[in-house]
A and B are shown apart, each in its own frame.
Chain A
Amino acid sequence: MSTPDGTASGPLGPDRRAERAAARRARTLRHQGVALVSTLVVLGGLTLLVLTSPGWEVFKGSFFDAEVFSDSFPDILRAFWLDVRVFLIVELVVLVVGLVVALLRTIDAPALFPLRIVAIVYTDVFRGIPTILLVYMVGFGVPAIALGEAADGSRPLDWLPTEPVVLGGFALALSYSAYVAEVYRAGINSIHRGQRDAALAVGLTEGQALRHVIVPQAVRRIGPPLLNDFIALQKDVALIAIIGVTGEAFRQAQIETAATFNYTPLVAAAMLYLCITIPLARLLDHWELGGRAR
Chain B
Amino acid sequence: MSRPVLEIRGVTKSFGELQVLHGIDLVVHEHEAVALIGASGSGKSTLLRCVDLLEEIDDGDIFLDGEVITDPAVEPVAVRRRLGLVFQAYNLFPHLNVIDNVLLGIVQGHEVPRERALAVARELLARFGMDGREQDLPDRLSGGQQQRVAIARAFATRPRAMLLDEVTSALDPELVGEVLAAVRDLKAEGVTMLLATHEMGFAREVADKVGFLHEGRLVEVGPPEQVLSDPAQPVTQRFLRRLLAARRM
Is chain A's binding surface mostly helix, strand, loop or mixed?
A: helix
C-alpha spacing A201/B151, complex, angstroms: 12
Q: B93–A201 contact, CB under 8 A? A: no
A294→B94 CA distance, assembly (Å): 12
Closest approach, in angstroms, between the C-beta of B137 and any C-beta of chain A? 10
Q: Which residue of B lies closest to A213 (CB)?
A: B93
Q: Mark B152-165, 1 if CB is under 8 A from A, else 0.
A: 01100100000000
Of A4-12, A46-54, A159-167, A191-199, the one touching chain B: A191-199
Size class of B's contact patch? 20 to 34
B93 near A194 with CB under 8 A, answer no
Minimum C-beta distance from B121 to chain A (A)? 12
B residues less than 8 Å from A216 (CB atoms): 95
Q: Across the interface, do B77 and A194 meet the contact criterion of CB distance under 8 Å? A: no
Q: How far is the CA of A16 from the CA of B54 in the complex (A)?
A: 61
**What are the interface flags for A212-238 relative to B under an 8 Å C-beta threshold, 1 for contact and 0 otherwise?**
110011001000000000000000000
Nearest-neighbor residue (CB-CB) of B52 within chain A: A201
Q: Is B10 an interface residue (CB 8 A)?
A: no
Cross-chain pairs A/B with CB under 8 angstroms, 22 sampled? A194-B87, A194-B89, A195-B91, A197-B49, A197-B87, A198-B93, A199-B104, A200-B54, A200-B76, A201-B54, A201-B84, A202-B104, A202-B154, A203-B108, A204-B77, A204-B104, A204-B109, A205-B77, A208-B109, A217-B93, A217-B95, A294-B139
B238, CB-defined interface residue at 8 Å: no
- List chain B positions with a Cβ less than 8 A from chain A: 49, 52, 54, 76-77, 80-81, 83-85, 87, 89, 91-95, 104-105, 108-110, 139, 153-154, 157
Nearest CB of A to B63, in Å: 19
How many residues of chain A have a CB within 8 Å of chain B? 18
A200 to B110 alpha-carbon distance, docked (Å): 12
Looking across the interface, which residue of chain A has its beta carbon closest to that of B111?
A: A203
